Amino acid sequence: MPVASTQTDVKSGEALDGVGALGEDDQPPDETTVVVALVAILVVAAALRLRGLGDDSLWANEILSFRRATAPLSDAYELLRAGTHPPLFSQAVLRPWLSLGESEFMHRLPSAVFGVLTVAFTYLLGRRTFGWRVGLAAAALLAVLPLHVYYSREGRMYALLALLVTLWVGSLLRAHRSNSVGAWVIYTVLGAAILYTHYYAGLTVAVVVGTTGVAYMTTSVEAEQRRRWLISSAAIAVLFLPWMPSFVHQYRESSSTLPGRPIGELPALITRFFTGFVNVPYNVKALIFLAIAALSVLLVIAGRRATRTKDSDLFPLTVMAAAVVGTILFAVLISLVKPILFVRYFVGLLPMCCILLAAGAVTARTRVVGFAAYGVLFVVSVACVIPVLTDSWRPDFGDVGERIAADAPEDTVVLMVGPNENNIALSGFDHYNDADIPVRMIDSAEGSAAVADAVAGLETEPSRVWLLQYTTMQTFETPEGFDVAHEERYDSRFFERRFPMRLTLLESVP
């Protein structure tokens, strides 16, 4: 798509002052109505992200962030190098924040705040580039988007990533319009912050910088603006250089064996933008793809129509489309060598996805088709976000830990039964094992006598044995000299599957 020059853009002003990037009249009939609508959207966004925020236990990855944020500063660097992520979220956000409190709610609250802020800035970015209707429609969709809600309720870096990517793209568009030194400095700092938040964002940074470079080299952009863009983009890499040795170390030493999704699952991955981890029928997934395709076609038609409008600047559309489509294609190419198709890595693209889809709906000549396609995505999102709020999505290791600690003599032992490669169970319970009760892992594949054999192999016979089974509900032989005194069942979701746990108390018989 052609990109209008800076001179044209400055002359016509920002989209807020008249014509949007696709040539739509952007003067709202009543600014108060727009403000009221935005406030309502933000209230809904906050309610969805804050409701029951601390109810579920922390899970393994959240616990990793917790440990990195609460470790002594003298140990933090080596702990970070031993991981697989850059330091910004755990050190710049969680470390000072958790000094105020370490509950599950406090751990996740920054993500919830980042999520609501992203909805607000999605409105601003959508309005500033495509008009107030697009801004409101995009913010409304992101507010209820299950995947964004899900990761706005998790104590990890993904909600921050989405916010920073949104701000960074906005800073690029602002620098493109004004060409001021201050705007380019903000663009540089935010770009580096993205890289310090998640390595995967490097794909988006590379695509956006490359797209901007092509646009600047093939259009009538002033030499001064091209030079400032080049210096600012190079400065992003320079700011990341201090951490580069740690990144190389992490890449070489990573012990992660978690496989990414194969390329053939890319369509299913994209549908999760609108379904989260709620399983839906195949026909619903097909409907999602049909709606996305329809809105994409409508957006392309609107873009081509806008090329005939002298005052339309298609640079924002070009950058956002390249960021979304280019990042996905880049990930697919890399996955030919090393699978990296994890849906959570695409959370940073969700705000721009919503803006582009809303632009396709609002700017369509055939509004019925555009609104129908947008409506499908919105309705599916609302339906799937309900389980995100009403179900338990994390293994209940907190409740299990409290239950065991409340009634545990000194010689109590915990036997955890499950597939040993599923380290989430051990790391999750270990965080809540405040009583430091001895834990022994048992492979569920060892057979029905595995528990009895484990008890017989203990150095001293305990008076109580807590048997914690996770993801397997098979029946085991009761050890000789013990009776079943109590049993509880816990059932939660964990990504695409259920995560059942059963806690059984075995008491020695006098």
pLDDT tens per residue across span 264-288: 788 888 999 999 999 999 999 999 9
Alpha-carbon distance 168 to 140, whole Å? 21
Is residue 488 within 8 Å of 503, Cβ to Cβ? yes
* Contacts of range 227-236, beta carbons closer than 8 Å, 24 or more positions apart: 228/175, 228/179, 228/181, 228/184, 229/175, 229/184, 231/184, 232/175, 232/184, 232/185, 232/187, 232/188, 232/191, 233/188, 233/191, 233/209, 235/188, 235/192, 236/188, 236/191, 236/192, 236/195, 236/205, 236/209
Is residue 322 within 8 Å of 208, Cβ to Cβ? yes
Range with the poorest average pLDDT among 155-159, 223-227, 313-317? 313-317
The pLDDT of residue 103 is above 90: yes
Q: What would you measure as the largest C-alpha separation in the chain, in angstroms?
A: 91
Query: Residue 423's pLDDT is what?
Result: 56
Query: Residue 195's pLDDT is what?
Result: 97
Query: Residue 314's pLDDT is what?
Result: 87
Average pLDDT over residues 481-490: 92
CA of 251: how far to CAs of 195, 244, 329, in Å? 15, 11, 22
pLDDT grade, residue 363 (50/70/90)? confident
Provide the 8-state DSSP code for 19.
B
Alpha-carbon distance 349 to 332, whole Å? 15
Query: Residue 170's pLDDT is what?
Result: 97
CA of 416: how far to CAs of 116, 118, 138, 456, 468, in Å? 39, 40, 46, 15, 5
Query: Residue 310's pLDDT is what?
Result: 59
Query: Residue 10's pLDDT is what?
Result: 35
Residue 83's contacts (CB-CB under 8 Å, 6 or more residues apart) are: 64, 68, 250
Q: Which of the two residues, 463 and 117, has the higher pLDDT score? A: 117
Query: Residue 13's pLDDT is what?
Result: 35
CA of 104: how far to CAs of 59, 63, 388, 424, in Å? 10, 10, 17, 17
Supply the angle between the helices 60-70 and 424-432 in degrees, to the nearest 10.
50
- Adjacent-strand bridge partners of 134: none
Query: Residue 50's pLDDT is what?
Result: 98
- Average model confidence (pLDDT) for the chain? 88
pLDDT grade, residue 4 (50/70/90)? very low
Average pLDDT over residues 29-43: 93
Query: Residue 447's pLDDT is what?
Result: 85
pLDDT grade, residue 337 (50/70/90)? confident
Provide the 8-state DSSP code for 201.
H
Instruction: Rank 150-164, 247-261, 298-312 by mean pLDDT and report only the highest.
Output: 150-164
Find the radius of gyration of the CA atoms of the chain: 26
The pLDDT of residue 385 is above 90: yes
Main-chain phi, psi angles of 423, to 5 degrees: -70, -10
pLDDT grade, residue 304 (50/70/90)? confident
Is residue 441 within 8 Å of 416, Cβ to Cβ? yes
**Residue 482, SS3 per DSSP:** strand
Query: Residue 324's pLDDT is what?
Result: 96
CA distance from start to end of the chain: 82
Q: Tell the residue number behind the tokens 């959207």, with chain if given.
A: 41
Query: Residue 15's pLDDT is what?
Result: 37
Other Cβ atoms closer than 10 A to 165: 29
Average pLDDT over residues 79-88: 90
Q: Which of the two residues, 434 and 231, has the higher pLDDT score? A: 231
pLDDT grade, residue 443 (50/70/90)? confident
Q: Which of the two residues, 462 and 153, has the higher pLDDT score? A: 153
pLDDT grade, residue 256 (50/70/90)? low
Share of the chain above pLDDT 70, in %: 91
The pLDDT of residue 464 is above 80: yes
Alpha-carbon distance 138 to 23, whole Å? 18
Is residue 194 within 8 Å of 203, Cβ to Cβ? no
H or E element at residue 359: helix 350-362
Looking at residue 159, its amino acid is A
N residues, the chain: 510
pTM comes to 0.92
pLDDT grade, residue 20 (50/70/90)? low
Q: What is the dihedral of CA 249, 252, 258, 264, to 10 degrees?
A: 120
Lateral strand order in the sheet of 413-418: 439-443, 413-418, 464-470, 497-508, 482-494
- Adjacent-strand bridge partners of 22: none
**Which candidate, 94, 79, 76, 86, places its Cα nearest to that of 245?**
86
Alpha-carbon distance 92 to 110, whole Å? 11
pLDDT tens per residue across span 160-192: 999 999 999 999 999 999 999 999 999 999 999
